[in-house]
Structure 1
């Protein structure tokens, strides 16, 4: 066989291997000699022909453990992981003794998917039984397998049991931590590695630098850079490129520029890293300038460079420059079928409003790059162009382009908040079920779609069918309950999560705080606040929600305490505190808070002015209301319909009906139902039916789905005995399918909230409640009788 070894080494392509295979077959060397068979299996596998490797293997009557190992290794090379694992199981059934050469390849196959972790653990058990668990290569393979499947605890156990921890073992563990998002743990391991006397190499340092970039901590980044300089690794171009990116992700663009200038031989990777860094810092013009310098220096850009430059053009809407880059790519034939650049081109043209260009790109791409279709559908949905997003999805289906989970999730989100599109959302949900493309991302989108369309029962049904729920799924259902007025259900769901020690985050607490706020459950809100502090999840958003909750539950002191304790305040925080004072009639405190906000450098927005006007309305402060209504223009804010409605409500309730009417007539746009309703309500309070009759024609032109508007008018006409107008209002409600929303009352007993509403199903202890009310009514009648006889 030794005479054939040079021939195997000279086989540089599949044709030569096939010729050698035929020669050995004719010579009869493939029936009893395992060495040429093993070399053929290896050669075919290396050339990317695993089927030929298997045919040679199956033709040999007595394959040994080593031959199995070679075929398993070939399958792993060709990413046929299931086939490799099946071969291992077959080997276990056939052979009692397994060569240790087999185990690293099998472990690499198991590392390829989390689904194979169970098999990997069994292989680990066999390794221990075989007594080869002290082999350095096998130990490193075990580290990789556990790390790549996300089982860091077992990876650390293997590492702790290693008698000798060399650079490869340390680097493998550090990389595993980074791959699983445990950046802090990776840095801790790196420190232990240095303390243990193991010198890192440039490859290890690249991993550490990339970890620092993900962490985004400038102090740690500078410390790592200092160590690289001391180890004299800063001459390595790849490491310099990583450092450049690290500093840009940590917000220190100046350091990125300095490192870039120090690189002597700048290649396409260096220039691309610098361009991407400028993009990350929103310096699109500098990115384009770097691209121009790159071309002048004679460096040929690659596809990643062009992608970054197109993104730069898209960020600032430079359509001419973007088209120029597009033309450059076409002339150089860098991406003739738009397989790589299409997502960036779609974003560029869509961002510049050139939708026809987007669709042209998509037609060229076809089904080769679904990312481009997804980008445009997502962009349409994000911009509120819901019909366009759904039409694009329909085109995909018509062209037989199979949508993936991202496509379905984006399309489903386009059906949210619109009752007319909810039916289409249900059809897409049906498509998800039929095609079995559903994953967590899609399921959460379905829950959101049903919730935001008002079908909370359908959302709950989908939620209950999900077996493995992440914190995002729980939050989707919590928000769904809270948004649809099912606050008790939201609180109960939160209680279930807390009792079962499920994962929670800031969004979880935000949803339950809003639920407590909706039903005025102060005790429950305080309990949630306590748990929020214990979990260490307090942030700007939860603090703002707590201010709103305490204010709506009547505890203004607690709202003030939360507000004062905030280390930083957003405009929403200021707005919530102003609204809290307004709800409680504290106009002086509301004005003082407004002045503090302006004094802190925070410019008020539309919502802040809405809240200060509402505060003036609650306290009847007409002069202050006029002042803040006129002040809006000073801050460059034009009053919208809600501002006018609030101001007119203030004037109308205070009896300034003529001024309110003049204000409506002077509005720069037509008044809607809320504006006219504010005036009509003031007329009712001050018994000015003459004004109602004078504006009768204006009122009759209003068409709205606000039941309160029709109810107010019908009640006024009924009180005045104008039954024809009363009937007309009721008919208008009926024709629009509107029903008066029933009111309800809620009471909190023993930390449980009970709700009472007219026409609702009997609740807990209904009979006892009515008996008590009956006896209370009798006591009241007796008291009235005694008072009359005195």
Structure 2
């Protein structure tokens, strides 16, 4: 128990005791002394509130100020200044507005120091209008005033306005200092504005600010963000002092730019020079390895991170898992899952949501569902992730059920929720359900945007209601996007509506003239309709515009190694066996009833040559290679960068049944699960 003050202590002694405890940081004793003062004056209130603010007890500081005003005690500018700092850190916009009103009421708003604090407060509360209003009302503005305004714009995601304010500062005759420069440089990074970055760099050199570690680090980031890594390294090498932030910026830049070897060399240099590595360092190198296809190296780095005494945390996990989205990183994702389980991180919402996403993207929907069902708490992001996971696997009914369960659980849907649900309805022929969901969005305070309209076009188009989809596009309240016209064009291919395809394609050629897929698809539609001249004209238009077709590529992982194939590929050491296998499999498939669909061959050649061309498609080569190297596995996973063609889709169904193996193919649109002669998409994709 703390001892009470003696009774009848003179007020000046009480104030002295209060000041001693506030300065020493013993706020418990300070509060006891304060509470025993019968009528604390403004000095006592200011001492305690300022001490709470300095120690980070911000809510307590604001509550004390509220109590002071409830007693009708008038504050002074120093007290409001202290409370403004508390509001700034808390980011409390309502209290910030109230405090500004108080400053005006008592006539303190013209004080420069308080005005600067108010601009900073509104900026950190993300109230740009409030910050600008205070700034414009200030009769005198110093370097701090302008720095706070620039910081406000950058902090509130308005980098271009921040640069405008920075230039206005110079025109007003106020010279920026190192703090101003380090504050505004991130705006150049965000905008990737190399010219502005260079101008500010010149100012830095001219005024001798290059020795400031924060300024130099920010310059390194500007050049790195603008992919001018050579200049980033030049600034870095000239730094007399380097903090870990500047090292990390350069490290991330190398990995982001695909310069994996240089990134690893820099990381080794950091360790050799005794740089005090932090978690941003380890995360950068781990994710850099994964993003550059170096899964094994990423796992080694994860192990070394732990050996160095760094325990991967939620940030590490959520940085690592999104990169584990492909065949080659599935094993890494499973290892991270084991780590999360061993270290009791399963209650962490961000980590488990990342796991749900990782498994869904890698084709392991059942594992994704298990993790989701184990989550004790689910927010909007978690529900959205599971809905989208089911949609990309063609489980529209499950996506719809999840959406309904989400509503019943009281979690509010957002724009992403409806994109996921509508995509699921599109891939599962749930037309009436999709229409109902679309028109219910406003009931849940979500305004449909262009993506949602495009999704409904896709719902109608895939179900064969192409004329209705076209009418819907014409009634859209905004300009139709490439997504809407692309959905219509794709449906015209399936449902052989040539005239509507020409309309959709002409709009797509205007919106995205460099997208080769639109030209190829229209040409394919003309070929199917035996309109050879128009198909030739489309291919000529493509050549004249310098648009080249994206080559199809498929890949499969075997024993921790990834094998890639392109159409007609003979670079694999097993190519002879692959083509011989496909030839023999083709005979078995024909006996089982398979008929090659030569509509998917664009060339006007004879039927036998068309069948031969179909055998060369990259997905068939990858599947054949995987079957030849099954090694006791019951499931094959193949990824493709483009949409799987109809003939390959049909052929893989037969191959899965004949061989007795489960085949999972992820193309650019969705997953296909082939099992015993059927596909999870129901031949509808």
Q: Matches of residues 432-511 of structure 1 in structure 2 within 5 Å?
A: 453-455=399-401, 458=404, 471-472=415-416, 475=419, 479=423, 506-511=450-455
Q: Distance in 1 between matches of 2:417 and 2:648?
A: 42
Q: 1:572 to 1:117 in 2, by over 3 A?
A: same
* Among 44, 56, 60, the residue aligned to 1:79: 56
Asked if the contact 2:244–2:277 (Cα under 8 Å) also holds between the matched residues in 1, the reply is yes
SS in 1 for 2:74: coil
Aligned equivalent of 1:93 = 70
* Offset, 1:368: 10
Q: Distance in 2 between matches of 1:550 and 1:418?
A: 23
Asked if the contact 1:517–1:525 (Cα under 8 Å) also holds between the matched residues in 2, the reply is no
Q: Distance in 2 between matches of 1:648 and 1:482?
A: 19
Q: 1:707 to 1:544 in 2, by over 3 A?
A: closer
The question of 1:250 aligning with 2:226 is answered yes
Aligned equivalent of 1:121 = 97
Q: Distance in 2 between matches of 1:145 and 1:137?
A: 12
Aligned equivalent of 1:427 = none
* Offset, 1:414: 5.3
Q: Matches of residues 230-249 of structure 1 in structure 2 within 5 Å?
A: 230-249=206-225
Aligned equivalent of 1:66 = 43
Larger-gyration structure (1/2): 1
Q: Distance in 1 between matches of 2:613 and 2:393?
A: 35
Structure 2: tracts of 5 or more residues without a match: 555-565, 568-595, 625-642, 660-674
SS in 1 for 2:23: helix
Q: Distance in 1 between matches of 2:70 and 2:245?
A: 50
Cα deviation, 1:527-548, whole Å, max 9, x if unaligned, reads 43x8317xxxx5x656644655
SS in 1 for 2:173: coil
Q: Matches of residues 327-476 of structure 1 in structure 2 within 5 Å?
A: 329=305, 332-333=308-309, 335=310, 351=329, 353=331, 357-358=335-336, 361-362=339-340, 365-367=343-345, 370=348, 375-392=354-371, 410=385, 453-455=399-401, 458=404, 471-472=415-416, 475=419
Cα deviation, 1:652-700, whole Å, max 9, x if unaligned, reads xxxxxxxxxxx999x866579xxxxxxxxxxxxxxxxxxxxxxxxxxxx
Aligned equivalent of 1:562 = 507
SS in 2 for 1:147: helix
* Offset, 1:86: 1.9
SS in 2 for 1:453: helix
Q: Matches of residues 535-554 of structure 1 in structure 2 within 5 Å?
A: 541=483, 544-545=486-487, 547-548=489-490, 554=499
The question of 1:589 aligning with 2:565 is answered no
* Offset, 1:185: 1.4
Q: 1:454 to 1:626 in 2, by over 3 A?
A: farther
* Among 12, 20, 23, the residue aligned to 1:40: 20
* Offset, 1:582: 5.4
Asked if the contact 1:617–1:625 (Cα under 8 Å) also holds between the matched residues in 2, the reply is no
Q: Distance in 2 between matches of 1:543 and 1:388?
A: 35
Aligned equivalent of 2:590 = none
Q: 1:484 to 1:460 in 2, by over 3 A?
A: farther
Q: Distance in 2 between matches of 1:238 and 1:511?
A: 46
Asked if the contact 1:563–1:577 (Cα under 8 Å) also holds between the matched residues in 2, the reply is no
User: Larger % of helix: which?
Assistant: 1
TM-score computed with the length of structure 1 as normaliser: 0.63
Q: Distance in 1 between matches of 2:240 and 2:461?
A: 62
Q: Distance in 1 between matches of 2:652 and 2:142?
A: 81
Asked if the contact 2:400–2:425 (Cα under 8 Å) also holds between the matched residues in 1, the reply is no
The question of 1:210 aligning with 2:158 is answered no
Q: Matches of residues 687-702 of structure 1 in structure 2 within 5 Å?
A: none
SS in 1 for 2:478: helix
SS in 2 for 1:531: coil
The question of 1:602 aligning with 2:549 is answered yes
Asked if the contact 2:58–2:86 (Cα under 8 Å) also holds between the matched residues in 1, the reply is yes
The question of 1:197 aligning with 2:173 is answered yes
Aligned equivalent of 1:681 = none
SS in 1 for 2:164: helix
Q: Distance in 2 between matches of 1:95 and 1:451?
A: 62
Aligned equivalent of 2:632 = none
Q: Matches of residues 675-690 of structure 1 in structure 2 within 5 Å?
A: none
Q: Distance in 2 between matches of 1:644 and 1:176?
A: 52
Cα deviation, 1:81-108, whole Å, max 9, x if unaligned, reads 3322221221111134222222123223
Q: Distance in 2 between matches of 1:635 and 1:450?
A: 29
Cα deviation, 1:430-469, whole Å, max 9, x if unaligned, reads xxxxxxxxxxxxxxxxxxx987634388279569x777x7
Q: Distance in 1 between matches of 2:216 and 2:242?
A: 10
Q: Distance in 1 between matches of 2:196 and 2:549?
A: 32
Cα deviation, 1:369-413, whole Å, max 9, x if unaligned, reads 94655554543333232343455567776xxxx777766665665
Aligned equivalent of 2:472 = 524
Q: Distance in 2 between matches of 1:643 and 1:314?
A: 26
* Offset, 1:158: 1.4
SS in 2 for 1:132: coil
* Among 253, 278, 290, the residue aligned to 2:266: 290
Q: 1:451 to 1:85 in 2, by over 3 A?
A: farther
Q: Distance in 1 between matches of 2:655 and 2:102?
A: 81
571-580 or 475-484, which deviates more: 475-484
Asked if the contact 1:459–1:477 (Cα under 8 Å) also holds between the matched residues in 2, the reply is no
Asked if the contact 1:513–1:545 (Cα under 8 Å) also holds between the matched residues in 2, the reply is yes
Asked if the contact 2:553–2:618 (Cα under 8 Å) also holds between the matched residues in 1, the reply is no
SS in 2 for 1:532: coil
Higher relative contact order (CA 8 A, sep 6+): 2
Structure 1: tracts of 5 or more residues without a match: 1-17, 420-448, 650-662, 673-700, 710-740, 742-790
Q: 1:322 to 1:484 in 2, by over 3 A?
A: closer
Q: Distance in 1 between matches of 2:116 and 2:47?
A: 19
Q: Distance in 1 between matches of 2:681 and 2:288?
A: 49
Q: 1:312 to 1:456 in 2, by over 3 A?
A: closer
Asked if the contact 1:317–1:348 (Cα under 8 Å) also holds between the matched residues in 2, the reply is no
Asked if the contact 2:223–2:231 (Cα under 8 Å) also holds between the matched residues in 1, the reply is yes
Q: 1:614 to 1:180 in 2, by over 3 A?
A: farther
The question of 1:277 aligning with 2:259 is answered no
Aligned-residue RMSD, C-alpha: 5.0
Aligned equivalent of 1:55 = 32
511-520 or 406-415, which deviates more: 406-415
Q: 1:664 to 1:316 in 2, by over 3 A?
A: closer
Q: Distance in 2 between matches of 1:50 and 1:405?
A: 40
Q: Distance in 1 between matches of 2:529 and 2:508?
A: 16
Asked if the contact 1:347–1:375 (Cα under 8 Å) also holds between the matched residues in 2, the reply is yes
Q: Distance in 2 between matches of 1:134 and 1:707?
A: 68
* Offset, 1:202: 1.4
Q: 1:490 to 1:130 in 2, by over 3 A?
A: farther
Cα deviation, 1:622-653, whole Å, max 9, x if unaligned, reads 8466545534566756378998964999xxxx
TM-score computed with the length of structure 2 as normaliser: 0.71
* Offset, 1:138: 2.1
269-278 or 355-364, which deviates more: 355-364
Aligned equivalent of 1:630 = 612
Asked if the contact 2:396–2:428 (Cα under 8 Å) also holds between the matched residues in 1, the reply is no
The question of 1:573 aligning with 2:518 is answered yes
* Offset, 1:314: 3.6
* Offset, 1:175: 0.9
